Every structure is written in C-alpha cells, then in structure tokens.
Amino acid sequence: FYGKVLSLKFTNVVIMMGSSRLSSGRYLPLIALIRIIFLSSSCSHGFVVRCPTSFGIRISTSLCGDSSDATDTTSTTSFASISVELEDARTAALEALERATSVREAEDVRVKYLGKKGIVASAMGYMRSLPPADKPKLGSVVNVVKDTLESAVVSRKSALEIEEVNVQLEKERIDVTMPGLPNLTPGKRHPLSMTIEKACEVFVSLGYDTVTALEDSPEIETDYYCFEALNCPKDHPARDMQDTFYLTEDMETLLRTQTSAVQIRQMETRKPPFRIVSPGRVYRKDDIDATHSLIFHQVEILAIEKRGELTLGHLKGTVEYFLQQMFGPDIDVRFRGSYFPFTEPSMEVDVFFRGKWLEVLGCGMVDPNVLEMAGIDPMEYSGFAAGFGAERFAMVIHGVTDIREFYNSVSIITLFCQFSCSCFSFLTKIILLQDNRFISQFPHFHDDGMISHLVGGNREERKKAMNALGIETTESDMPFTSLTEVADGSTSTALTRDQSDPKPGKEKKKKKKKSTSSDAVVADIDISKLDIRVGKIIKVWDHPDSDKLFCEEIDLGEEDGPRQILSGLRAHYSAADLEDRKVLVLANLKVRKLAGLESKGMVLCAASEGGEKVVFLDVPKGAEVGERVTFKGYEGEPATPNQIIKKKLLDKIFPHFVTDKNGVPTYKGVTMETIAGLCTSSLPNCEIS
C-alpha cells in the first residue's frame, strides 16, 4: 500500500492510492477516514471518491460546487466548475501580468498559472475523471486558457524587458559632452619598477653605470655566461638551486637564472676600473607559491678596481649604505658567511624585519678564477659583486605578502598602477590609504613612492596624509625627495670607509640625522663632480642635417686631441665668430647623437628668457685651454669617465645655474671661476644652459 499526495490546493485534492493485494472492500474505512478529515478541515466543496479496481483508488475533491456524493451529476458539475475556475484564473493571471513591473514578476505569474503546479496543469489532471463527452470540452477550454496566458506572458515579458533595458541605459548614460576632469594623471609606476629604479639610483649615486641594453644583459643566455664563466661547471651542485628552461636540446641555450651573467659580459667588454649596476628579469623552474615565481627580477652590482683598492670593508659599507637607502636609516643589517661559486669570500645579508632576520642579498669578493676567465688579470685587479631579488625588496617595502600580486592583473597593486585618474584615483586612494601596508612600513620610501603617488608631490601634504594615518613623521623619516639629491660626499663614505671601523652603520646614521635636521632637508649636490673646462674652438662647420646646429672641433687640452661637440648657436653667431674662441665646456657627458652626428660634451651659454638672446659664457682673461672651472666650497674631483654625469643629475643642477646681476655665472650664488679669475658673460640675470 502506498499513498502519494499529488496536489493539495485550496479547492483541489487528489490522492492516489495503489495496491495490488487489497480488495476494494478493505478501503472503505480508509475512505471514510479521509472523508472525515476533509470535511472537518473546512474543505467546503466536499469530494468525489472513485474506486477503480484492485490497483488503487483515486480520491478527488471537486474543483467547485457542492458534490459530496459520487453520482453522475458530479462530473457535469465538475466540468462546469472547472471551466469557471479556469476562466477566473485567466482573468486573474492577465491582471497579474498587467501589474507586473519586471520580467521576474511576469515569470512568477507564468509559474503560478502555467507551471507544473499551476491551475492549467491541475485542470488537465481532471481529464481522466470526466465522462468521455466532457473530456474534449475540458481539453479545448484548457487549451484556450493556456494559449491566451502563454502569449500574454511572452508579450508582457518582452515589453518589460525593453523597459528594463531603457532604465539601465538611462542609468549608465555617459555625457560625452562633459568637460574633462582636471588633474588627470597617467597610470602610476609599478611598485616593482619603483623598487628597481630606486635601487639603481642608489648605485648610480655611488658612481655605478647602469647596464640595461639587450646586448649587454640578454635574458636568453648561454650556459657559459650563466654558469660556466661564473665558476659553476656542469656538474657543480650549486646548479641544483637554479634549474631553468633550456631552449636547445644540447642545453647550451637557456633562460638566465641570475643577472650575475651580466658581470661576465661587462668584464669582457669594459676596461677596469669600473662599476656597474644591472637590473634584469631572470627565470627559474620553481614551483609557484607566495614567494616563488617562474619569472622574477634581480639587480646585480659589480665594482672592479686596482688590486687592493676594494676590500671586504668597502663591500660591507656599500651594501649597508644601499640597504639604509632602501629600508631607512635605522634598518639593522647582518652579514653571514655564505657560499657562491663566483665570489670568495661570500656573504649573505639579512635585514631585521618584523621581529625576524630576513635574507635579502648575496655578495662577495669576485673570485680570481672568474676575473681570469673573463680576461681580467687578478694580479692587477680585484673587485666585489652583489645581487638581490627585486621582488623580495618590494615585498618588504610595500608589505606585500604574495609575490603573485605583482603580476596578477586584478591585484590591488595593478589596480593602483592602472587607475590613477579621475574617479578611479579617488577609489584607489581610499583603498590604499585604508590599506596601511602600503604606507606604514617604510615612510621614507613612500616619500618617493606610494605616498607621493597617492597624495601628490608636495612634502607637506604627504606628511599630513601620513600623520592622518597615525604614521609619525620626522625630518629624518623623509630625508630626500630623490636619491640623485643625496650628496656624492656621503656616498664616497660608503666606498672608502675603513674596514676596522667597529660600528660603521651607527656612525653614519648620526651623521645623516645631523645633516637633515635643519632646513637643509635635501642634501646638497656635489657640483665638483661636473668637469667644466676651458676649451678652444678650432673648427666650425654647419651641421649637414640641421639648420640650427653647428659642428665644432674643440680643444680641451686632451691627449686624444680635440673633440667634436655640437651646439645650437647658428642663429646667434656666424662660423667666423666662433673660430679660435675660448669657451667653457661641460666635458664629462656621455657621447650623444644630435641629428645623426656625435657630440661629446656641451658648450655652456647664458640665455635670456624665451631664448631670444644666447651668448657663450666667457672665459677669464689668461685662462689656459684645459683649465678647470671651480666653485668655492665644492672641492671634489670630477666624475671619472665611468661615472659620467647623468642627465637626471643635470636636471637637478641646471635650474640653479644662473648669471648674477653682473653677468657672472653662479651655482646657488657660488661663482664659477678658474685659477685665472671669474668667468663672465654679457647677459646678466639669465639662465645657463
């Protein structure tokens, strides 16, 4: 025996019972019971009981009417009442559809009336209980109601759909005629790029040349440069740590695992002494997790000098200085003895971060074998090298806990980098200012980095923003606006500090605080790095491809003979005016090309506002060719050819180069002179360029 309620609705009860064994006589008490239940449960319509043969019974209430007995009239009344009820349902459904305000509500109406449990389906359920003559009648009534409702639902839904789309469009309307927003700034630097850039800047300020050209720093390397020449032959166990992607069957070509390969290429091509810093992408076949990525970035340094001139003390001083610049002057640094195939001795360097020592860098004195293999005589030269992962630094500095955040396009970092304008800017500012990890760790760094990007370039505003976040700022927290402004004087301390100094870091820290405590927040630039000398123009000719440029051969008293320097004074002087004339030349600039011709150096001029008048700076009477220009108070040596003055530094210096009221060229009020006397010019109160 089993029972199943098919449908129990307000006026509609159908109970199926089936049994193969019980005879219909035995059902009678049960039927009586059901009847009592339905009558007593306020089912006002009574019900019809039909007892088929041995396989079951069907009990149904009538949909409507007053039939409490199973008589012939029941079915007639049922059909009539079903029709009426269907008609009522149709009217109700159409009204409900009309009232529906969304596609969703229209769908609810459909489900209510046309769904599996809807009135149309229930009405069909009565078909079997009707006399044969009524069946087609009910069928056609049901079909009419069904068709009407179905098409009403379809048309109401599509009308509502159109309405909804229109509302949505209206909501999202963009007024393309609106004026642009002020202060639109392009996207921001990626924290990783900022970290790499900053690291390089520190080393550039220490006299290192950056090496980034593809031919000097290829990512597709040979086994030789990546391992062999770094004292790491094929069977060397150190190779296990640096599995990579091999590009050829013979495993001779591979994706480099370390920027140390650049050291070898530089040793092969440069003549010592030299210092290089080389950032680059490297690859390792590692399992990816929060701290490992198949692709990451390293920065490598290498300094080679005459043998004995660079000691482990210099290496330690340099590394410590670098780490202070990156992590702040109070960072604690620890050196541990370690092993790298290409350095001897080797050290690993840790910084104390969040209560733990964190390894950040590897370094050592270049192994004489490595020097020799690269063609540098180890009896004549020695040097040190260091390398570190940029991601590790950026993670510490910006409080990023998962390396993948740097590359993932939906990470907060990339969000920050991409959307820095208009409303996105506002949004990212809010997110990032709330997300303290970006600014609370190393406020001094954010002076250059995040905070300035978020709040703007104004030091006061940055300070305010940091204070608002509960980050205390002192002058020493924000010691510089750019590393190029760090005095070259302080950098040389890092390179020349005595190895026997027991606490080199502490002493330097004190010095630093002193120099930044007063209004001299920005350390002064050592302009004695500029090599300005008296030169004599020997020959002048027109640049073949530029009507503004002269080509000049200028004698600076150098062994290699006169240099070719291009200058843009054709509008102001004739070639004859220039020949045999003495001029002041900024000599330690890299060779650059102007309209296709090489120029090495720059002739200094004074220019009136707008450049209407331009004149050469005049050399003091009696000054000899090659004589150097000096500035009182800046008594250092000019940068060597390997430390050639960088454009960035010039951009900082030149705004302070002006002629005074007497036409004397000055830097921040300090006059430009040679041993023969003051330099001069015929244009007072003008910029020098």
Q: Under the rule (CB under 6 A), what is the footprint of ligand DAH?
A: 258, 260, 300, 340, 343, 362-364, 385-387
Q: How far is the CB of 192 from ligand DAH (least distance, A)?
A: 17
628-657 burial, b for 16+ CB within 10 Å, e for fewer? ebbbeebeeebbeebbbbbeebeebbeeeb
Per-residue tokens: 60: 């149904």
CB 343 within 8 A of CB 319: no
Q: Nearest 5°: phi and psi at 402?
A: -130, 120
Q: H-helix or E-strand containing 141?
A: helix 134-171
Q: H-helix or E-strand containing 339?
A: strand 333-340
Q: Using alpha carbons, list the distances in angstroms from residue 357 to 75, 363, 398, 444.
A: 91, 17, 17, 21
Q: Using alpha carbons, list the distances in angstroms from residue 420 to 30, 361, 431, 440, 441.
A: 77, 33, 12, 20, 22
DSSP string, 493-549: HHHH--TT-S-HHHHHHHHHHHHHHSS--SPPP-GGGS-EEEEEEEEEEE-TT-SS-
Q: How far is the CB of 361 from ligand DAH (least distance, A)?
A: 8
Identity of the residue, 45 or 316, whose beta carbon is nearer to ligand DAH in the bound complex: 316
Q: How far is the CB of 367 from ligand DAH (least distance, A)?
A: 9
Strand partners, 655: none
Identity of the residue, 75 or 260, whose beta carbon is nearer to ligand DAH in the bound complex: 260
Distance of CA 216 to the CA centre of its chain: 26
Q: How far is the CB of 611 from ligand DAH (least distance, A)?
A: 47
Identity of the residue, 264 or 432, whose beta carbon is nearer to ligand DAH in the bound complex: 264
Identity of the residue, 386 or 530, whose beta carbon is nearer to ligand DAH in the bound complex: 386
Q: How far is the CB of 210 from ligand DAH (least distance, A)?
A: 16
Residues with Cβ within 8 Å of 503's Cβ and at least 6 positions away in sequence, in order, are none
Identity of the residue, 390 or 465, whose beta carbon is nearer to ligand DAH in the bound complex: 390
Identity of the residue, 118 or 280, whose beta carbon is nearer to ligand DAH in the bound complex: 280
Q: How far is the CB of 598 from ligand DAH (least distance, A)?
A: 33
The Cα–Cα gap between 668 and 660 comes to 10
Identity of the residue, 360 or 523, whose beta carbon is nearer to ligand DAH in the bound complex: 360
| Closest chain position to ligand DAH (CB) | 387
Q: How far is the CB of 362 from ligand DAH (least distance, A)?
A: 3
Identity of the residue, 31 or 295, whose beta carbon is nearer to ligand DAH in the bound complex: 295
Helical H segments across 570-670, by residue range: 575-578, 647-653
Q: How far is the CB of 277 from ligand DAH (least distance, A)?
A: 11
Q: How far is the CB of 290 from ligand DAH (least distance, A)?
A: 19
Residue with tokens 């990579």: 244
Q: How far is the CB of 247 from ligand DAH (least distance, A)?
A: 19
Identity of the residue, 344 or 553, whose beta carbon is nearer to ligand DAH in the bound complex: 344
Q: How far is the CB of 680 from ligand DAH (least distance, A)?
A: 50
Per-residue tokens: 196: 């790499």
Identity of the residue, 365 or 433, whose beta carbon is nearer to ligand DAH in the bound complex: 365
CB atoms within 10 A of CB 184: 10
Q: Nearest 5°: phi and psi at 590?
A: -70, 155
Per-residue tokens: 15: 């109970």
Identity of the residue, 387 or 562, whose beta carbon is nearer to ligand DAH in the bound complex: 387
Please say whether the dihedral angle defined by the alpha carbons of residues 579, 583, 589 and 595, taken in this order, is positive or negative.
negative
CB 336 within 8 A of CB 520: no
